[in-house]
Amino acid sequence: MGGGLGHDGGVAERKAANLTWHEGQVGRGEREALLGQAGAAVWLTGLSGSGKSTLAVAAEAALLRRGRLAYVLDGDNIRHGLNSNLGFSPEDRSENIRRIGEVAKLFVDCGVLVFASFISPYRADRQAARALFAPGDFIEVYVQAELDICEQRDPKGLYKKARAGEIPEFTGISAPYEEPERPELVLNTGRQSVEESVGALISHLETGGYLSC
């Protein structure tokens, strides 16, 4: 695609010219056949403290125990490197998600099951990420938990700081979160244990044929 979609629906400017896509000698099908699985981007979205990272890490470990290749792209980890120059304005949030979508697409082409664990609060940004993928390659998972539950957990102390005005543009407090309208899967971590949620996620992958190639 020519760049990426921003929060305003526009297309990101491509600053490099005279580019040609180079095809390799090994295709995605051959990589998937080697791994015995189908690559997919499992996009976990939800409020801070909803359990996205916890589920992604647990699902990755469960899949590796079954001989499957999976990898987690975590919001905080990515901002330590690839997206360290981005803040939390709507524009920077959109660029954050655009970059992650492109990285996840590369993992999928490798035949890997990649878990993208990001708040990704805007529907337009998640839709732009989905548009990068072929049908079936993008699985939106809404990690659902009520705001009060997320605040009670507050593993990083962020809600307390946001309530005190120390963190501007904090999702759920001073910035919006737009719930998914048609996610492939909803995991309610306020009612389900980590084990139950991971089981439901892996069951979805099994039913979809991602683990039986």
Active-site residues, by number, are: 120
**CA–CA separation, 171 and 6 (whole Å):** 18
SS3 22: coil
Structure tokens at 118: 């990001």
**CA–CA separation, 143 and 141 (whole Å):** 6
Structure tokens at 199: 């089981």
Phi/psi of residue 130, nearest 5 degrees = -60, -35
Q: At 107, which amino acid appears?
A: F
Q: At 131, which amino acid appears?
A: A
What is the arrangement of strands in the sheet containing 113-117, beginning at the earlier edge strand?
70-74, 113-117, 40-45, 138-144, 185-188
Rg (CA), the chain: 17
Is the Cβ–Cβ distance between 150 and 47 less than 8 Å?
yes
Tokens 């987690």, residue? 72
SS3 56: helix
Structure tokens at 65: 């125990």
